């Protein structure tokens, strides 16, 4: 297994991590190293918001999900140099607009300055959690910690300014054009999303000691925790459960009140229960699908989805390619969920191990087209080793 993890790390650093931005890009369209990002939107297309203002389906959609996870991966490995590089990528996306607290998903690796204006609560969640984690890792210098205090304070201030009833509790686009999609709404949201807003305030409070941020956190904390204990009767994608866990885990570690901590501990028990479906689904997909399928160039893709309400046109992967992508993402997200649980409720079961080994057995990262098949297995492995848990 260690040899496979070493191969995953090598492919990740060579193929998906850009030296120009210190950001992780979603996939490669070809195994030809020099052309791997040829289908990314050009700076001119980005200026026109093509394919859509969120960059969905473009190959630079999830920079502020993938790069924060890579930061955690390097923290667990004790690799301070690479952790700092990932932090630089986060800082770039958190400052490039010039609007304090405004986050972008990614930055074009060619010119190092072009970005799409519409982020999401999911991107903010990973960004905030990983900044907070890095702050407490022992790897961040005093100067870097000071920067993180500014970055997390900026997010909290941005939220306080814009998350109001009048805005439908929605963060503005980074270019301040009218928001079209619902993915930056931070309150009166689905149960698994409710703790995002209080988490942002809790992180800012924890690193600054500013009591005002604590008051803002407490304004939402109990209602959000109650919502999290009423998940819908449905299966949730593992990415949604992982993001919910990050919110609950940060709050659980910052909060001192026993009743509120127990409320969020129960949230995390629910996450654990719901995640088993994704564990088994990933194994079933691996059993019945070819996972070495290349994503199409979105410019040539005739299969698109029109997002209800906002009318964003989203280039979509064909169903078999979507499954090839989700297999590696879901199995590894479920494993991270199990490993990241507080020790009091952590349960990395035999079923976790059997299904994980089944999916990973024979995996060839050199032939796989999506970044999640490289950094995610390394993140899981590093977390397990840090906790002295055998996979």
Are the CB atoms for 305 and 314 separated by under 8 Å? Answer: yes
Which residues neighbour 283 within 8 Å (Cβ) at sequence distance 6 or greater? Answer: 331, 355, 358, 359
Count Cα neighbours of 263 within 13 Å in the Cβ-side half-sphere.
18
Kindly give the parts of the chain with pLDDT less than 70.
none
Tell me the per-residue pLDDT of 17-58, one tens digit each, with 9 for 90 and over. Answer: 999 999 999 999 999 999 999 999 999 999 999 999 999 999
| Residue at token pair 């629910």 | 270
| Structural domains present in the chain | 2-386 (1.50.10)
| Residue at token pair 């390097």 | 74
Distances (CA, A) of 111 to 27, 42, 238: 19, 9, 33
Quick one: tokens of 163?
A: 């998350």
């Amino acid at each position: 297994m260690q040899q496979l993890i070493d191969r995953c790390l090598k492919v990740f650093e060579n193929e998906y991590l850009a030296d120009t931005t210190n950001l992780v890009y979603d996939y490669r369209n070809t195994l030809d190293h020099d052309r791997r990002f040829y289908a990314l939107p050009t700076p001119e297309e980005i200026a026109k918001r093509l394919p859509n203002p969120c960059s969905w389906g473009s190959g630079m959609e999830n920079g502020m999900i993938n790069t924060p996870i890579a930061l955690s991966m390097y923290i667990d490995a004790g690799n301070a140099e690479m952790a700092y590089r990932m932090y630089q990528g986060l800082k770039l996306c958190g400052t490039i607009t010039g609007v304090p607290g405004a986050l972008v998903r990614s930055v074009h690796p060619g010119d190092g300055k072009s970005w799409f204006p519409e982020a999401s609560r999911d991107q903010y969640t990973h960004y905030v959690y990983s900044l907070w984690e890095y702050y407490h890792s022992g790897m961040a210098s005093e100067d870097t910690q000071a920067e993180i205090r500014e970055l997390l304070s900026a997010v909290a201030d941005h939220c306080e300014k814009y998350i109001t009833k009048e805005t439908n509790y929605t963060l503005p686009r980074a270019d301040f054009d009218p928001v079209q999609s619902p993915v930056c709404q931070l309150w009166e949201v689905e149960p698994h999303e409710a703790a995002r807003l209080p988490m942002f305030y809790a992180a800012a409070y924890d690193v600054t000691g500013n009591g005002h941020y604590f008051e803002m956190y407490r304004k939402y904390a109990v209602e959000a925790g109650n919502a999290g204990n009423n998940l819908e009767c449905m299966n949730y994608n593992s990415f949604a459960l992982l993001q919910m866990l990050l919110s609950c885990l940060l709050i659980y570690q910052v909060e001192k009140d026993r009743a509120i901590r127990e409320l969020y501990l129960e949230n995390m028990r629910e996450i654990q229960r719901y995640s088993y479906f994704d564990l088994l689904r990933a194994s079933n997909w691996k059993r019945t699908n070819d996972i070495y399928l290349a994503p199409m160039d979105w410019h040539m893709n005739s299969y698109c989805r029109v997002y209800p309400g906002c009318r964003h046109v989203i280039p979509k992967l064909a169903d078999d390619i979507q499954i090839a992508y989700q297999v590696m993402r879901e199995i590894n997200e479920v494993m991270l969920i199990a490993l990241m649980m507080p020790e009091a409720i952590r349960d990395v079961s035999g079923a976790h191990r059997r299904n994980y080994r089944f999916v990973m057995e024979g995996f060839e990262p050199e032939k796989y087209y999506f970044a999640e098949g490289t950094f995610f297995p390394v993140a899981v492995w590093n977390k397990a080793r840090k906790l002295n848990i055998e996979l």
